[in-house]
Structure 1
Amino acid sequence: MKERLTSVDVAALQEELNQLKGAKIEKTYQLTRDEILIKMYHYDQGNVNLIIESGKRMHLTDYPRPAPERPPDFPMVVRKHTKGGTLKEFKQFDFDRITVIEIERGEEEFKLISELFGKGNVILTRRDGAIINSLRREERKKRKIKKGQKYEFPSSKDNPLQVEKERFRKVLKSSDSDVVRTLATRLNIGGTYAEEICERSGIDKNKEIDELTEEEMALLFDVMKELFNPIKEGKTHPRIVEEGNEMIDVTPLKLEVYSDKKQTEFDSLNKALDEYFNVKEVDKVEEKKESKFNEELKALEGRKHSQLSTAREYEEKYEEGIEKGDLIYGYFNKLEKLLDIVRKAQDKYGWEEVKEKIEEGKKKNLDLANMVEEIKENKGEIEVKLDEKIVSLDITKSIPENAKETYEKAKKLKRKSKGARKAAKDTEKKIKELKEKGKKSIDVRETPQRKINQKSSWYDKYRWFKSTDGFLVIGGRNADQNEEIVKKHMQSQDLFFHTEMEGAPAVILKTEGKDVHERNLREAAKFAGSTSQAWKKFYSTDVYYVNPDQVTKNPESGEFIKKGSFVIRGNRNYFNNMELEHSVGLEIDEYTRVIGGPPEAIKSNSKYQVELEPGDEERSQVAKKIKEIFEERSEPEEKKIMEKVATTDEIERFFPPGKLRIKEKN
């Protein structure tokens, strides 16, 4: 059964994966300890997902599993360096199970190297091979995989797709093994393809190399070249091979060694590998579910057995307690006389002499002395034997009081018995529910709670949002902040937004010198309008934007400018009747935080959003409702985020000024 890719598979994949040249790298995730998922967008193929399982496989997948909510360091480092980059080329190193994905981002170039043999590894390096980070760190005498070291490829091996006949002959002659082992190991093609070459050539695979004739060696070479030609030409015939009802292999070529097996053809090796390994993963999950289901069932049944056993034990002790209470009354006169004698003797002589007197009485075969089994002076009790039952009596209490206490203890045990039986009944209910739901009810995700990764930025103290295309837009919360952002943060390439009315924030769109699509301008204008006093008074307002050199604090002669206000010179670009809309969202990605701004921008930057409009509800009540909406929609592993990040105070901080109401739940 195939567990990992062969060098032949990797060679065939090279042609297919290079069809993704030009794809944009979006995000990288680490699904498990060994699995990396790279999300890309290709202008022709759309969204694509590349799965890399260290030491085993690499292929495109249509079955991307959910990423864990708490990303480890490695995928975050890969994201940092490659997000937004372009896939330049996919390479196989020297017909080995090593792949190199070259990624360009601006003037930088990175390599993501995957080792698909042994324990495997995934390593991110710079153009020159300097290691930035790796899935796992290695430090051996001959090899080091750690930050700052240069990645060293293993020594080169012969490539069966390129090897010349004379070199092939020398490789064979240098071996002291049989034909099939020599082909498999010396030419790095693996056992299946070595057997295929022997099968097609008609040469006994167990024949020793030194027994081969020159003609047989030439035949093996020709057969090998013919076998692998479709891979060189990009004309493969991928398929999954089945034996019985089980998939045993996936190959890029039609092989004679599998001629008696059921085979299902696929359009690409990527699809064949995806189907093969996805089914294997499902099988593993089912096995885990089966195992965990049985464990949970066994634990519940064990708990029920223990609860019933405890209930029976309490019931037996209850019956015994009632019987002892009855015996105390049955021997009332004798016990009363015995306690009276013991009390007086204890007061007069002490416990030691009491014990001696009782022993003397037993020697004389006195009836009352024979009843005493043990004296527990530290408890002030004596144990007596009544009809073969041992009963404890408190010498400080009367016989009726001792009987009452014995009955009370028994009644407590009865109550405990009922509690244990109720617990057993509840456990039986859980067993029934578990059996009815079956394995589907079992969650085998090995996902930790999402890490709350909050980012602190210089613009946090202002009003702010990120536009649909990622431009930062900031606005003042008061006159002082209006002055501050214009003076300290407005640069020559930025754009200044404002409304025609007083009581509006100075809003700046930070362009970083890039071209700005009109949708981003409209979002900034909507933000300027919605965070102004217009929110309290109207349902629309006019907003304009100008270049920074049109904004000044120098008034005309006789004019006065209030703090936080500015004089605008020259032509203005208007967005008329700008509708007042605002959303609050919860970003759960690289960073975890509440955000607020135009609905279009918040929708593209958050997992959960609630849209707002001017209204008559108190801000605190609306914040509470939004928090409840977030909690209703959140995943179980996000509950901690709701408690720590999405507080009502933090939600309210991203509101426009004045009262409002929820417009729509998204």
Structure 2
Amino acid sequence: MKARENMASIELHYLTKELKQLKGRRIKKAYQLSRDVFSLTIWPELNGRRELILATRNCLFLSKREWPKPQYPSGLAMGLRKRLGNARIVDVEQPDMERLLVFDYEGAYSGKLVVELFGKGNLILTDEDWKILQVARTIKVRDRVLKRHEIYKPPPKPSDIPSINKIEDEEGLLSILQQRGALELWRFLLEIGVGPPYIDEVLLRSGLKANLKVRDLSQDQRRSLGNAVVWLAKRLKDKPDPVIYLSEGEMVNFSAFPLNSLEVKYEVKPVESLLDLLEEYFSPIITRSVKDKALLELEKRARALEIELKQQKDLLNRYEEELSELRQKGELLFSNLYEVQGLIEMVRKGIQDERIIDVDRSKHLATIVIGGIPISVDFMKTASENASNYYARAKKLSLKLVRGKEMLKVLEKRLLDMKSQAEILHISKGPKIRRKKKWFERFRWFFSTEGFLVIAGKDKSTNRELVRRYMEDDDLFFHVEQPGGAVVLVKTDGKVVGDETLSQAADYAASFSRAWREGLSYADVYYVKGKQVLTHAPPKMYIPKGSFYIRGKRTYLRGKLELAIGIWEIDGEPRVTSCPVEASAEMKAKIYVIPGEKEKLETAKMIKEVLENELKKVTSMSLYLDLDEIMKALPPGRFRILRR
């Protein structure tokens, strides 16, 4: 079953109550994340939720995540910023249970921000008099026009039909039914603001079919319908009890409160709040539509490569068919040399025979039938020469086939790498959980068994930053002997560092070096004091950009390439990091890796699954682990998982 991808008016009804908490808060900035997705940053944040995501084709929700922003704002985003920047939210309303939300704002400018979730969706900014100032999607239909300088009008609706939240009893509903007799039941329910999946729940409770005409309902059926609708109207006055419905572990539907019509089909997953439900359910859907330009370019190249790969496969299939045919004809000629030679002689003399079906004397070619198969031969050559010619052509084609298969493997690997890069980029550019980080979390880090903070750079830029900004004279600087490795610092705070910390820092420096990519088990590592490290060369000497000059004596250690990837608890929150195996005792859950053959992305996915399962057994901390953080905790290269 296709997963549901939009909100119903009933969920919007409950969400409106939640969003009323935004009254008095300010809109700091507006962004257009994609064609139909917008983000408003709210200050002060509401329970850790700072971004209001407006996905006009799907939903809107307050997000705890930090969503990726485009490098340059669109014209529409600039127009929104001009009016909404630092504006205060005055009110949030849902008119007549429509899939429509109106934000009243005031500040340097005042007006309305309208979010339409029906049709293809829309975002409209107006002034106080409803004159349209900005619109995401210009529309001109019979009932209304949405474009700049026009007056905004909501979609038309019969004025005498109350919405579901205004129906008090069965008698009120029965009087409405008499006015709308020509409608089918499902259309009537839509008209009063009951959309899927709540229509199915009303029909289940009333025992009626969706395509029944309202006027054809018996008195008992009308009362059954009335009971179901009144139950729903009363339920809307209670607090939400949100649930997500799963099919084979995948999210396929959700509702603001449990529905019997869905519980019989799917696994039920209760969620603490409606805001949590909307973010959990819609974040993956919205993420697919919010793509970075680099990712779009990579996907475009991957599609072009897939076409090239298909063409190469088709060509090889034709080569194999032609090769089989050439070998078969060569074998037939070689097996019937006497008969073939006789036919060639007859062609030369102009003698006709039923086995000779065509002769082209200008090209010296004749088509003869041997073993029921037509074969073209050069009648100026002997039978054995013709057989040899077919074998020679088969051999040449066989070589082309071998080269083609080699090229096919190259293309398949290139496509696999490209798709892996695209998935990694998609993960890295996706929304991130917003939380306060310690200063050292910008780097790779762990705490040694002796309590020393050990930090490592992620690239040339962070290597340089560590040395220039964070390294003190008494700190210890570690690096592999060969070029191409992370700078590792042990923050000593003036204390004496023991052998355990020295060994663990050496292992860390060895692991985050070129040695891992080369599949080595050990690498030579040296360490010096911070005051021995210079970021520039002495006079009349040169060091490459990003390198460091070491003065004085170096101390060498043997570093082991083995890491524990796991969860370190800081201030009661889980942090994904890596460390040498000997320093991993404090991890709540962990898994060991060494250089191997498994791709980085595949390894990260396995680690994520294992850590989340292990974390459930040992702690009550939040179980969401960011795949991007796990990948950043791994060194470049391939992996083998040792022990879970």
Higher Rg: 1
Query: TM-score, normalized by length of structure 2?
Result: 0.47
